[in-house]
Amino acid sequence: MRMEDTICALSTPQGMGAIAMIRLSGPEAFKIFNQVFTPFRKDLSLKTAPGYSMLFGKITEGNKTVDEVMAGIFRNPHSYTGEDTIEISCHGSTYIQEQILKLLIAHGARLAEPGEYTMRAFANGKMDLSQAEAVADLIASESAASHRVALQQMRGGFSEEIKVLREELINFASLVELELDFAEEDVEFADRQQLQDLLEKIKKVLKRLIDSFATGNVIKNGVPVAIVGAPNAGKSTLLNTLLNEERAIVTEVAGTTRDAIEDEISLGGIKFRFIDTAGIRETEDVVESIGIRKTFEKIEQSQVVLYLFNVESLVTLSGVEGQDFSEVIKNEINQLKAKTQGKTLLIVANKMDLVDIHSVESSLANLDADLLRISALEKTGIEELIQCLTAEVNLEALNSNQTIVTNARHYDALNKAFSDIQKVEEGLENQISGDFLAMDIREALKHLGSIIGEVETDRDILGNIFGKFCIGK
Amino acid sequence: MYSEEYDVIVVGGGHAGCEAAAAAANLGSRTLLVTMNLQTIGQMSCNPAMGGVAKGQIVREIDALGGMSGIITDKTMIQFRMLNRSKGPAMWSPRAQSDRMRFAEEWRLTLERIPILDFYQDMVTGLIVDKNRVLGVRTSLGSEIKSKSVVLTNGTFLNGLIHIGEKQFGGGRAGERAAKGITEELVSLGFEAGRMKTGTPPRVDGRSLDYSKMEEQPGDEMPEKFSFSWETRPLEKQRSCHITYTSAEVHDVLRKGFDRSPMFNGQIQSTGPRYCPSIEDKINRFADKDRHQIFVEPEGWNTVEVYVNGFSTSLPDEIQSKALRMVPGFENVKIFRPGYAIEYDYFPPTQLKYTLETKLVEGLYFAGQINGTTGYEEAACQGLMAGINAHNKVHGRSEFVLEREEAYIGVLIDDLITKGTEEPYRMFTSRAEFRILLRQDNADVRLTPRAYELGLAKEDQIKRLEQKVNKVTELEKWLSHESVEPEILNPLLEAKSTSPLKQKVKLNTVLARPQIELVDLMEYQPLANYILDQGLGREEWEQVEIKEKYQGYIEKERENAKKLTRLEDLSIPEDFDYTKLKSLSYEAREKLSKVRPVTIKQAKRISGVSPSDISVLLVYMGR
């Protein structure tokens, strides 16, 4: 509730929608947004845009465009919160929402606490009591709901693990405080190595929790899988087979699937978001080539890329203009390999039911890749494909009841705690006095406490000292 | 009495009572100090020492505010040590051994010098209260003394019950009567009362000890002092303390008496402080420790009486004696006074306002152990604050409240009235979230201007502060302008194993290095000359040193403190009805109704009040 901070949050419901709205509010709102946003019209600028106007432009990270957005301009005090506010309407994919929020945070905003916009609005006199009362009920119901959500998120005892971690840290703080408040006592002080070890241990747990956010995100939002392949490779048929129902349009005309369509399919208890793309085949068709550019954008956003090709084409298209068509496929595979560093690339040969296996064997060998052979229509090889997909998710972590972080606020707090701990570590290395170490430890404890709602640090530390050490003359 | 009606009546003459009476009277209130025994004003009931970690800072704050504890300690100390010197400057903590009899005498004489302060020896047995407003006190001799305000500083005297082994008897201190009547009256007025316990070790005959078997603990080579004023000087000679240890054999003897210990046979039910445990408690709770430290502290310059710090006990006196005789150096010990435990009434301090005035009765103030605290310093600062606020209220002036980021005193009072306390409350530095700012060295900078505004700090006090600040600023400026050649400083830097200079630098950048102290740089003649010419003392150049070395941390802490902003300072109306806020958790509604926080900031610190409760509260509050 520090009003000097500029805060941001998703204001539309969590999850995918056609569009989403992110609100950025606070004294630095314009400064922060200016660093990531460029209006398309050269004659307009964020600086001069009047309140209650809208700007159309792009949000970029470096020279990469994140999204094209509409920015609603509200100038202090004429906004919901009474502060400078920008309402960013972006495309609705959770990926884009996350990217934009991350970008704003990287430029100095922080995630808003629940109810913080309303609190600011109230503090700035933007609401009278009756209005505020109405919102208060809303906040109350929201926090009750978010409490339930939090409970659901505490798989494998998330709060329990944070509690244990916080206790470790309090233990550390106690050892530091012991030297400060009880220098006169006949107790053994922790040697620096012991403190160092304890820090390492704490860091390891924090790191694992932070890393688990990726898994957590998958649980919540699904694994993004881009299906890439030439027109008529059978992408839609495959999707339908996976979906087990005919949802996408399947025709025999190549290039029907022009827009990226997302389909959420649950496989082996894990949610996958299949993003159908237009493929990457070079083309003269203008519409198609726009599709290709989009394909690469989608690949960028995916965790898994599923390259699908029509085995039949190895037979039917080879020899045309004297080429070996497996070279074309190979070329595409190599292009994808280059674009999918750090991602999983599955290469799938479809329509195996339509060819004589012997006639394509040498062409397939020429591709020099691990292949999955399927027939989407005849539903052969689908099991293996599903296995490859589910292997993507760290099921071990899920099944062994390891803690998984799914909440962005928790993720934020854990990251902050981690960087505080790093500062403590630096301090320890530089042999600074415990009272300065304690400053960063306190911050870390505060951040962990904010996750589980425990904030009383001093009492805990002292209680710990009195419990463990014989203090007192 | 002597006045028709007093402005302030202070009940009790301990550390809290003395500071309260001095503050109120020095500010100009017609004040009466009523105590059961005028012989025991300013008694050190427990160990003969002032200060220590966090407590020393409090004494410095009292002094900066115009209280007397610092000056009295300086005038009567027999040893001085600055604890935690090896830590950061916020941890440096002055501690003094005092001459117990001189300390009490000095308090008495100091109070006698205030013309507007009257004294009366009698036991206050009740209050005159009308329509929730205090009008005076009633005494055991039947007098009714009228006043506009009353400060109760009863210490351990309210229904005090002393335990030594299976023997128990009423008393407020060994050899002194307990005070009856006040608790009962306050309860009938609607106050909630509780019971606490504390203890004290035996005092022994120093002539019966063999110091050759103990370690000597001398005072600092360069002793400092508590008071910022010119009135006192650092010690020139000091007395040493000694350290010895208990052993497994000592513990065996003590353990054999456990069935006769009031601590273990159920005779004492109330809570004692965990950080000041009795020796039987230490043995019981930390059974794996085969020895405990004992500090042998002289009680004064001339007396042979010695205080056995670390051996607080309520075991039967013959067991105390038998066990002590097994301690190295104590083989022939003669006990002067056995240790004992004492139980007494206190009033949970959540019943107080920030001014230490009770919420229930207007004009009635509590200070010291009656609020569940322990320690001379904790008591003294409460007395000071209660005395100031009683005076201000009577004279229609505004409340005097210190913030948590302003003073340990602010932390103490805020903790007490916001969280209450389940065991005797003692100050620790870790209780202060902004302790980097709350240093002993800057207590005057933090508080003397406020005391001056109040009228408690005198002209010379503020003048002295201004001079100090000017000298410090000038030296800082000088250091940041003075360039020094590498060849001049490099031999020194190498000797201190820090990297040599490559080019000319300003002197202050060298001082910022952790390995280099200003004293080291005095080898550089122009600096030595400057310090000599300007008449700079240690107090001033230490300030510069702290600023140069720790500026980063101090600034960061100041930023953190500043972040408690507008929103948190929003005040909550006194009669705010929490019960109508159905969206608050049940616990929050109950706690908030009980504590009645003054600001959002305070509400946040109440345990059981969650961040979402605060959001709801904020939204509901009218501005």
Q: pLDDT of B308-337, one tens digit each?
A: 999 999 999 999 999 999 999 999 999 999
Task: Count each helix (H run) and each strand (E run) in chain B, helices first.
Answer: 21, 22
Cα radius of gyration (chain B): 26
Query: Could you tell me which CATH class the domain A7-153 is placed in?
Result: alpha beta
pLDDT(B382) > 90: yes
pLDDT(A287) > 80: no
Class of residue A47 by CB neighbours under 10 A (exposed 0-12, middle 13-18, buried 19+): exposed
What's the gap in Å between the CA of A47 and the closest CA on chain B?
28
B614, B599 in Cβ contact below 8 A? no
Task: Tell me the mean pLDDT in the region A257-270.
Answer: 63
pLDDT confidence tier of residue B93, bands split at 50, 70 and 90: very high
Query: In whole angstroms, how far apart are CA B244 and each of B251, B330, B504?
Result: 14, 9, 53
Question: Does the distance separating the beta carbons of A4 and B565 come in below 8 Å?
Answer: yes
Query: In whole angstroms, how far apart are CA B335 and each of A30, A370, B305?
Result: 76, 91, 9
Over residues B352-369, the pLDDT tens digits come to 999 999 999 999 999 999
Q: Which of B286, B430, B616 lies nearest to residue A470, judging by beta carbons?
A: B286
Q: Which CATH number fits domain B459-558: 1.10.10.1800, 3.30.70.980, 3.40.640.10, 1.10.510.10?
A: 1.10.10.1800
| Residue B334, token pair as written in the block | 């003669």
Give the chain A residue whose CA is nearest to the CA of B293.
Answer: A186
CB-CB neighbours of B84 under 10 Å: 25
Q: What is the DSSP letter of B316?
A: -
| Residue B156, token pair as written in the block | 């351990």
pLDDT of residue A123: 66
List chain B residues with CB under 8 Å of A110. Answer: none
pLDDT of residue A245: 43
pLDDT(A60) > 80: yes
Class of residue A24 by CB neighbours under 10 A (exposed 0-12, middle 13-18, buried 19+): buried
CB-CB neighbours of B301 under 10 Å: 13
Over residues A138-158, the pLDDT tens digits come to 444 333 333 333 344 433 356
The half-sphere exposure of A10 on its side-chain side, counting CA atoms within 13 A, is 24
Class of residue B476 by CB neighbours under 10 A (exposed 0-12, middle 13-18, buried 19+): middle
State which amino acid sits at residue A50. P
Listed range (A83-92, B160-169, B449-458, B565-574) with the worst mean pLDDT: B565-574
Q: How far apart are the first and last CA of chain B?
A: 48
pLDDT(B393) > 70: yes
Domain A221-399 in CATH 3.40.50.300: yes
pLDDT(B91) > 90: yes
Task: Tell me the mean pLDDT in the region A302-328.
Answer: 80
pLDDT(B234) > 90: yes
Task: Specify the higher pLDDT residue, B622 or A117.
Answer: A117
pLDDT(B487) > 80: yes
Q: How far apart are the first and last CA of chain A?
A: 42
Q: Which of B90, B91, B567 lies nearest to residue A3, judging by beta carbons?
A: B567
Query: In whole angstroms, how far apart are CA A445 and each of A156, A433, A451, A465?
Result: 22, 19, 10, 16
Structure pTM?
0.75
Question: Does the distance separating the beta carbons of B436 and A466 come in below 8 Å?
Answer: no
Residues pairing with A274 in the sheet: A225, A263
Chains A, B: CB pairs < 8 Å: 153
What span, in angstroms and rounded, lies between the C-alpha atoms of B148 and B135?
6
Query: In whole angstroms, how far apart are CA A87 and each of A9, A25, A33, A35, A74?
Result: 10, 9, 10, 16, 8
B311, B339 in Cβ contact below 8 A? yes
Domain boundaries, chain B: 203-340, 459-558, 566-620
Q: Architecture of domain B566-620 in CATH?
A: Orthogonal Bundle (1.10)
What span, in angstroms and rounded, lies between the C-alpha atoms of B191 and B348?
9
Interchain CB contact of B47 with A (< 8 Å): yes
A324, A318 in Cβ contact below 8 A? yes
A385, A359 in Cβ contact below 8 A? no
Give the chain B residue whose CA is nearest to the CA of A427.
Answer: B553
pLDDT of residue A301: 82
What span, in angstroms and rounded, lies between the C-alpha atoms of B542 and B472?
9
B315, B307 in Cβ contact below 8 A? no
Question: Does the distance separating the beta carbons of B616 and A139 come in below 8 Å?
Answer: yes
pLDDT of residue B240: 97
Listed range (A379-383, B89-93, B236-240) with the worst mean pLDDT: A379-383
Q: Which of B295, B557, B567 lies nearest to residue A439, judging by beta carbons?
A: B557
Listed range (B4-18, B107-121, B563-577) with the worst mean pLDDT: B563-577
- What string of H, E and C letters represents the secondary structure of B76-104? HEEEEEEECCCCCCCCCEEEEEECHHHHH
Interface of B with A in 53-92 (CB under 8 A): 53-54, 83-84, 86-88, 90-91
Cα radius of gyration (chain A): 28
State which amino acid sits at residue B463. K
The half-sphere exposure of B258 on its side-chain side, counting CA atoms within 13 A, is 14
B160, B342 in Cβ contact below 8 A? yes
Task: Count each helix (H run) and each strand (E run) in chain A, helices first.
Answer: 16, 13
pLDDT(A402) > 90: no
Class of residue A313 by CB neighbours under 10 A (exposed 0-12, middle 13-18, buried 19+): buried
| ipTM value greater than 0.85 | no
Task: Specify the higher pLDDT residue, A325 or B22.
Answer: B22
Q: What angle do CA A212, A214, A217 make, to 5 degrees?
A: 110
What's the CATH code, domain A158-215+404-468? Answer: 1.20.120.430
What span, in angstroms and rounded, lies between the C-alpha atoms of A434 and A173?
9
Strands (E), B289-339: 293-298, 305-309, 335-337
Listed range (A153-157, B25-29, B465-469) with the worst mean pLDDT: A153-157
pLDDT confidence tier of residue A403, bands split at 50, 70 and 90: low
Question: Does the distance separating the beta carbons of A133 and B429 come in below 8 Å?
Answer: no
Interface of B with A in 339-398 (CB under 8 A): none
Helix locations, A368-433, DSSP H: 382-390, 395-399, 408-429
Task: Tell me the mean pLDDT in the region A224-248.
Answer: 76
What's the gap in Å between the CA of B338 and the closest CA on chain A?
17
Question: Does the distance separating the beta carbons of B292 and A433 come in below 8 Å?
Answer: no
State which amino acid sits at residue A163. K
Picking from A180, A170, A166, the residue whose alpha carbon sits closest to that of residue A436 is A180
Q: Which CATH number fits domain B203-340: 3.30.70.120, 2.40.30.260, 1.20.1250.20, 3.30.450.20?
A: 2.40.30.260
Task: Tell me the mean pLDDT in the region B505-534.
Answer: 88
Domain boundaries, chain A: 7-153, 158-215+404-468, 221-399
Interface of B with A in 297-326 (CB under 8 A): 309-310, 312
pLDDT of residue B574: 82
pLDDT confidence tier of residue A178, bands split at 50, 70 and 90: confident
Question: Does the distance separating the beta carbons of A472 and B275 come in below 8 Å?
Answer: yes
Task: Specify the higher pLDDT residue, B156 or B600.
Answer: B156
Listed range (A203-212, A316-325, B570-579) with the worst mean pLDDT: A316-325
Interface of B with A in 418-447 (CB under 8 A): 419, 428-431, 433, 435-436
